[in-house]
Structure 1
Amino acid sequence: MQMNETYTGNAPSRAEVDAMEGLTLLEFGTDWCGHCRAAQAPLALVLTDQELRHLKIEDGPGRPLGRSFRVKLWPTLILMRQGEELGRVIRPTTAKPIVDLLSKAGAAAD
């Protein structure tokens, strides 16, 4: 699957995220965040061959979805399956932590 390139301000509700079938990778951040921009190359590298939904959510004060997940630093990547959080990575700078996060999906499926 190809990754989303821009953060959306139109975030789904927490109930909608929890109801999503299959694997979903939530990415919380902003376009102007230096840490978020630095994470884009490793994300693109890893997400090229993945079968999952990638939601790139603009976050900030008063944004209910990010607050429901207690996001404090950007980018925060949260891997979900059917409403269950499988794991998260905060401020990845290389592909390895993202690969490790996605490997939890394979282990959780067994």
Structure 2
Amino acid sequence: MAAEPIPTEPIRIDGEEALEDLTKERELVLADFYADWCGPCQMLEPRLETIAADTEATVAKVDVDANQALASSYGVRGVPTLVLFVDGEPTERLVGLQSEDDLRGVIDART
């Protein structure tokens, strides 16, 4: 049975179970902990859409206002915070606005 294709756009996550399931299903998941009111988060959005379309990583979007317990469990204290999961385990953490090149570098180092 062939693996499902990697999603080419970010996936909205609601709840810890949804994030756990996604990180178990996918080898590489870049989780973006964001808030709608956050300017840098909005600036990061098109970069994440490109990353989702052009890399091996699945991009997950976690709204910290709607998922406060989940954000807290990953130690998110500011937004945007990006956590890269490899084989279900968090391996990298990036805080603040990131360039597309920086995001690609973190992903490429794991592929």
What TM-score bracket applies, with the shorter chain setting the length?
0.7 to 0.9
Matched positions, count: 104
Alignment partner of 1:67 is 2:51: no
Q: CA deviation at 1:67?
A: 0.8
Q: CA deviation at 1:87?
A: 0.8
Summarize deviations over 1:47-99 as a string: whole Å, max 9, x none.
32122322101103871211111011111111102221121221224212211
Judged with a 3 Å threshold, the aligned counterparts in structure 2 of structure 1 residues 93 and 84 are, in CA distance, closer, same or farther, namely closer
2: CA distance, partners of 1:2 / 1:15? 19
After TM superposition, the structure 1 stretch with the greater mean CA deviation from structure 2, 13-22 or 95-104, is 13-22
SS of residue in 2 equivalent to 1:96: helix
After TM superposition, the structure 1 stretch with the greater mean CA deviation from structure 2, 53-62 or 23-32, is 53-62
SS of residue in 2 equivalent to 1:57: strand
Equivalent of 1:101 in 98, 101, 106: 106
User: TM-score scaled to structure 1, two decimals?
Assistant: 0.75
Alignment partner of 1:80 is 2:92: no
Quick one: which amino acid aligns to residue 74 of structure 2? F
Q: Which runs of 5+ in 2 are unaligned?
A: 1-6
User: TM-score scaled to structure 2, two decimals?
Assistant: 0.74
1:51 paired residue number:
56
Equivalent of 2:15 in 2, 6, 11: 11
CA RMSD in angstroms, aligned pairs only: 2.5
Percent of pairs with identical residues: 21
Question: Does the Cα contact within 8 Å between 2:36 and 2:42 map onto a contact in 1?
Answer: yes
Runs of 4 or more above 6 Å deviation: none
After TM superposition, the structure 1 stretch with the greater mean CA deviation from structure 2, 41-50 or 96-105, is 41-50
1: CA distance, partners of 2:51 / 2:64? 22
Judged with a 3 Å threshold, the aligned counterparts in structure 2 of structure 1 residues 18 and 102 are, in CA distance, closer, same or farther, namely closer
